[in-house]
Structure 1
Amino acid sequence: MPATDPSDDLALLVAAAREAAVIACGFRAPQVWDKPDEGGPVCEADLAVDAMLRERLGAARPDYGWLSEETADAPERLQAERIFIVDPIDGTRAYLEGSRDWAHSLAVAENGRITGACVLLPQRDLLYTATLGGGAFLNGAPIRASAETDPARATLLGPRLAMSPEHWLGGEVPPLRRAFRSALAWRLCLLAEARFDAMLTIRPTWEWDIAAGSLILSEAGGTATDQRGAELGFNKPHPQSDGVLAGGALHDVLLPLLAASPVSPPT
């Protein structure tokens, strides 16, 4: 497959995300369904954005594979060297509630590694972008993850479940403040701009929720792994990770404190 400059891919992702925003913001009362197996809501806007993205991105890069929350998975993607990984609307519940805390999350992976990413929050006028080796940016300005290493001064983004004693060694929960945001992609971006210090998800996490945000965070100097400290990989046969631990400098402090981590706690 001919090489593609990651910056060209990024320009394509940004243009597609902006078009997605026009579609999503144009709905007033979209029809809503429940996904099977308690998979959460999906609405007309999710499907309309997904269809546009697949058509536009596929036409521009016909040799790229496709993985999206709202498209039935197909094994052909596993043969692709490069692949789009897309969450048409990350934070559908927030979108349906009229909140501004939802995003379009788009990424390109090459041989399992994210090379270009954008996360757009149209209702907040926030555009996060990154290319592999090219740094991370918010609305065109460079961003950097938090250098905080003291849990007592830090805030962790995550659900209440993340602060349950059974998820920490010896049942000892670090003295972290906790906050929550609906869209996983945005949580990772908030870490990238040092608005928060760490993020934890315990449950299995879909690739489309974290693909774009993980590159933006890593290019901002942060780290995202699964909850056991393993590197995140993408375009896997089963596209999930074993939870996610992410952060700036605090990532390496929290990792050995997690009950799921094979790393010994610091002495």
Structure 2
Amino acid sequence: MQGNDLALLQDAAREAGKLALRHAMKTPHVTDKPGGAGPVTDADLAVDALLKARLTTARPDYGWLSEETPDSDARLTHRHTFIVDPIDGTRSFIAGTKDWAHSLAIARDGVVVAAVVFLPCHKALYAAEIGGGATLNGRRIQVSSVSDMGSAKVLTAKPTMESQHWATGQVPPFQRKFRSSLAWRMCLVAEGAFDGMVTLRPTWEWDIAGGALILSEAGGTVTDRTGQPLQFNNVMPQTNGVVAAPTDLHRQIAHALI
């Protein structure tokens, strides 16, 4: 990293939050992405343009990967790459609720080394730098001490609770909860508000890169659904799902999955 990359991400996220909140005061213009990839609003595109200009101007030698920018193989030639979701939780943004976030990360040689997840409506800024721990609004955070699935609160979508995903055919006895933003789910686990998160579908890197570092720096274990470590800035920028939790709980969940 050069300079203070974490400070750069924090400043950019706050700037993005101000822009997004101005858009949130108006009825968003919504279009559907090709191939059933979901909705996109004028706010998503405006925030993407702001972040790309702000970050790549400050670090012109870094690559760029964002949900709202057409992908380019050029990012694969850079040792450092920004991985950005301008608005994670676009459906929440469209609905006028508060559970959307800006997710910003920097990967070096495939490993996330600096990350920020910012929820402007909640005034919550999560941040982490590799080896430096994780914070929420400057206060150190850590994962819960829950180690048993029977007493765990796990953030996951309803289809996860179908028996075909579990090795014994029995759905684990954890309590399912849900939040629309994947980045925020990971941060809620990082601060100990929930005990784990699971997503079994192929997962875009921009949804999870920031949260993955924040959660791991808060003492949790983060892998794909098979227990393999996450790598970022892949040719196809997806992971094979995500399982994230305190280490003992993570081991139980990963072992129970098919």
Q: TM-score range by the shorter chain?
A: over 0.9
CA distance in 2, matches of 1:232, 1:41: 27
Q: How does 1:19-168 map to 2 (within 5 A)?
A: 19-27=15-23, 28-168=26-166
CA distance in 1, matches of 2:10, 2:239: 26
**Structure 2: which amino acid aligns with 1:251?**
H
The aligned counterpart of 1:255 is 254
The share of aligned pairs that are identical, in percent, is 55
Q: How many residues align?
A: 255
The two structures, once aligned, show a CA RMSD in angstroms of 0.8
CA distance in 2, matches of 1:38, 1:156: 28
Q: CA deviation at 1:223?
A: 1.0
**Structure 2: which amino acid aligns with 1:223?**
T
Q: Which residue of the other structure, out of 13, 16, 33, is the alignment partner of 2:12?
A: 16
Q: CA deviation at 1:91?
A: 0.2
**Structure 1: which amino acid aligns with 2:104?**
L
The aligned counterpart of 1:204 is 202
The aligned counterpart of 1:213 is 211
Tell me which moved more, 212-221 or 147-156.
147-156
Q: Secondary structure at the match of 1:255?
A: helix
1:157-199 CA distance string (max 9 Å, x none): 0100111100001211110100000100000000001111111
CA distance in 1, matches of 2:99, 2:146: 25
1:100-140 CA distance string (max 9 Å, x none): 10000000000000000000000001000000000000010
CA distance in 2, matches of 1:155, 1:164: 17
**Structure 2: which amino acid aligns with 1:96?**
I
**Structure 2: which amino acid aligns with 1:149?**
S
Q: CA deviation at 1:38?
A: 1.4
CA distance in 2, matches of 1:181, 1:37: 24
**Structure 1: which amino acid aligns with 2:9?**
L
CA distance in 1, matches of 2:234, 2:147: 32
Q: Structure 2 unaligned runs (5+)?
A: none
**TM norm structure 1:** 0.94
Q: Secondary structure at the match of 2:121?
A: coil
CA distance in 2, matches of 1:202, 1:37: 20
Q: CA deviation at 1:155?
A: 0.9
CA distance in 2, matches of 1:39, 1:171: 31
**TM norm structure 2:** 0.97
Q: Secondary structure at the match of 1:247?
A: strand
1:202-257 CA distance string (max 9 Å, x none): 11000000000000000000011100001100000000001111111311111111
Q: Secondary structure at the match of 2:252?
A: helix
**Structure 2: which amino acid aligns with 1:103?**
A
Q: CA deviation at 1:152?
A: 1.1
